[in-house]
Structure 1
């Protein structure tokens, strides 16, 4: 097949988050399996094309992320005229494939569900302080309105929903995201396909021994509310009261905190100042250094409020770490319902502390779970398995697109 990806994010120029990692790994995976693959992406510093075996990466310098879907259109049109792509894939966030989809309606289209913006907005909402809540409430009443914390969401007015209506297949890495989007957007479940993200574990991670003894718990990811960082903050004193030898390391950039004048690292440091000797903040690190930090920890913790398919969980599993993760979202599937790690409810610091204590106090259990997790990565998320499922999703999009012209099925439920 001749496959095109459109994505504002792509390493190394725009290695912003999980989308960038996914597109890079998926593009290389499909190229290795003999497909012709081209990626249309952005860069803050350069324009041009890089060629790899079976893969071309086209970069432009757009004015901003919002303008990227329009500005990438000309580059794609030139290449489509030469290559005649069989299928194109784009992300839900920002509806980045919308201009290409409108210009080339005959091209089969797969929408990859990473996490739509409406979900990110709801999950990432920073709670107001009590004083701010009181002012907001009284101000609304003075204006003669009943106070609402945020505008009501109407999915039919959402550009990302409108973009989804034109997709031949909506592909999601977890059953959780498929169910959530199908329910919220009232779409036909027959158009949804579960394709986990490909993951190529580095040899250095697979070589990490299971029986480490660092007493360290590591959080890897953005220090932001939707990652459950505030719940971890409240769980840390509960852990240290019973296990004073525990150490906590935070690897990732600091995002806004509930206090406007402090970023999240500063906020955590202030709230946990009594436990400063047990804390370490590393900040953001390059992806290729993650295994180094995994080798220096016993337990990885991901208490997200909701998470679609966090690759950092697979990275930790490949390293054989004991994983404590939220059961809200796709992490429950990655950890096989709790067979490959401990699952905890989001927004509940006490069960989180109890799970961390269980693995700190029982290294044999932690190592057992780490071994199961590593084996699961090598089997369930193998390149052969994911490659076949990815190809099947594209073939389904091509077939469904062709059928539209014969019986005109609707994406609506």
Structure 2
């Protein structure tokens, strides 16, 4: 099968969960004998690379991610004349394959659910409070558009259209798949549920399960959706019960509920009295993460919403005790709490109680870490996920549902 992945994110130039998935999935499918090409973005470079495993990566310079769909569509259309792709996969986020589908509507299309920009903005609107929401509504009105958290916003309309008209909808968790069916009226019969593939590096597997320190680590972008504000609210409670605990925040940062204030600065203001127990390590290269996890006793992922969670799998592979949010994809990774602890991410008290429980019980941490690692190596291995992904592509080809060709393209074809 000849497979084209469309994604602005693709390592090493653009990180993030979507990019991590695309790299893992592309290598998995190439190893299974398929021809795989990735069509990605770059801040400043246009060109072509070939990875050692045979995956070809085409990049277009698109410093503004909003320009990527139109730019990459022309590249894919030209390449399709040479390759004749059997299937194209693109993300729900910003409908990045939407322009490609207009140019080559006859190629079967699978949309991969991650977390749409609409969902991200809806969560941020919840966090920023009524005053900021009112200000954002006014600013959007002056631009002549609905606010970004509205389903009527132009990007949201494209995202929902992408999902509703895809030949198959590939969902990495029940949480995100059932949500788009309920909220976006997607066809439940076209949803395929199977996880992202994950093959952990040997450095993760060399770490003994458990951990003897009192370090609690968060890994991910410091942004509102990741639940870091409620984690900060939980820290004073934890320190009253575990005075020797240390908290590490690992990752880059986005904005906070206060305009002009970065999330790191916002959290530091919240935690002035606890500053001696909190350290912000910033964005670190992926190869440094095993060492950071090896020094951690507990890892915390209190996202207000997460469709899946590669950093959670990395912590599980490292044999760490993991705390994740309930009612989203993280709870599924943790098997509802059998492989870690699940919490209400909006409850600092619940979060603090789970952290304290694990800091006080080294044996429990080791047991949970060992069970979590075993699950990672079985449920998310390429040999497990690969056949499921192939089956989804095959169903897309079999139940082809082409979108109407644009009028301009129809006229061009008739000339």
Both structures adopt the same fold (TM-score exceeding 0.5): yes
What is the CA-CA distance between 1:362 and the residue it aligns to?
0.9
Partner SS state of residue 346, structure 1: coil
Partner SS state of residue 309, structure 1: coil
- Output aligned runs, 1:216-365, within 5 Å: 216-365=215-364
Does the Cα contact within 8 Å between 1:35 and 1:54 map onto a contact in 2? no
Partner SS state of residue 107, structure 2: coil
Partner SS state of residue 165, structure 1: helix
Find the aligned partners of 1:63 and 1:161 in 2 and give their Cα distance.
25
Does the Cα contact within 8 Å between 1:298 and 1:322 map onto a contact in 2? yes
Q: Which residue of 1 aligns with 2:22?
A: 23
Does the Cα contact within 8 Å between 1:155 and 1:161 map onto a contact in 2? no
Find the aligned partners of 1:101 and 1:404 in 2 and give their Cα distance.
8
Describe the shift of the 1:135–1:36 C-alpha distance in structure 2 as closer, same or farther (beyond 3 A).
Answer: closer
Superposed CA offset, 1:71-93 (max 9, x none): 11222122211111110000111
Q: Does 1:99 align with 2:104?
A: no
Find the aligned partners of 1:135 and 1:39 in 2 and give their Cα distance.
40
What is the CA-CA distance between 1:165 and the residue it aligns to?
2.9
Find the aligned partners of 1:30 and 1:39 in 2 and give their Cα distance.
12
Partner SS state of residue 300, structure 1: strand
Superposed CA offset, 1:109-150 (max 9, x none): 0000111121111112264578x47997xx99xxxxxxx998
Find the aligned partners of 2:148 and 2:265 in 1 and give their Cα distance.
27
Describe the shift of the 1:201–1:97 C-alpha distance in structure 2 as closer, same or farther (beyond 3 A).
Answer: same
What is the CA-CA distance between 1:357 and the residue it aligns to?
0.5
Does the Cα contact within 8 Å between 2:41 and 2:68 map onto a contact in 1? yes
Describe the shift of the 1:294–1:82 C-alpha distance in structure 2 as closer, same or farther (beyond 3 A).
Answer: same
Partner SS state of residue 66, structure 2: coil
Q: Which residue of 1 aligns with 2:87?
A: 87
> May I ask how many residue pairs the two structures share in their alignment?
395
Q: Which residue of 2 aligns with 1:108?
A: 108
Superposed CA offset, 1:241-284 (max 9, x none): 11101110100112212222421111211211111111111001
Q: Which aligned segments of 4 or more residues in structure 1 are displaced greater than 3 angstroms?
A: 126-130, 132-136, 148-157, 402-405
Describe the shift of the 1:74–1:236 C-alpha distance in structure 2 as closer, same or farther (beyond 3 A).
Answer: same
Describe the shift of the 1:363–1:168 C-alpha distance in structure 2 as closer, same or farther (beyond 3 A).
Answer: same
Partner SS state of residue 198, structure 1: coil
What is the CA-CA distance between 1:60 and the residue it aligns to?
1.3
Q: Which residue of 1 aligns with 2:408?
A: none
Find the aligned partners of 1:151 and 1:227 in 2 and give their Cα distance.
17
Q: Which residue of 2 aligns with 1:153?
A: 151
What is the CA-CA distance between 1:221 and the residue it aligns to?
0.5
Find the aligned partners of 1:73 and 1:372 in 2 and give their Cα distance.
44
Q: Which residue of 2 aligns with 1:56?
A: 56
Find the aligned partners of 1:9 and 1:177 in 2 and give their Cα distance.
20
What is the CA-CA distance between 1:155 and the residue it aligns to?
8.5
Find the aligned partners of 1:379 and 1:87 in 2 and give their Cα distance.
27
Q: Which residue of 2 aligns with 1:144?
A: none
Does the Cα contact within 8 Å between 1:110 and 1:168 map onto a contact in 2? yes
Does the Cα contact within 8 Å between 1:328 and 1:346 map onto a contact in 2? no
Find the aligned partners of 1:5 and 1:214 in 2 and give their Cα distance.
41
Partner SS state of residue 399, structure 2: helix
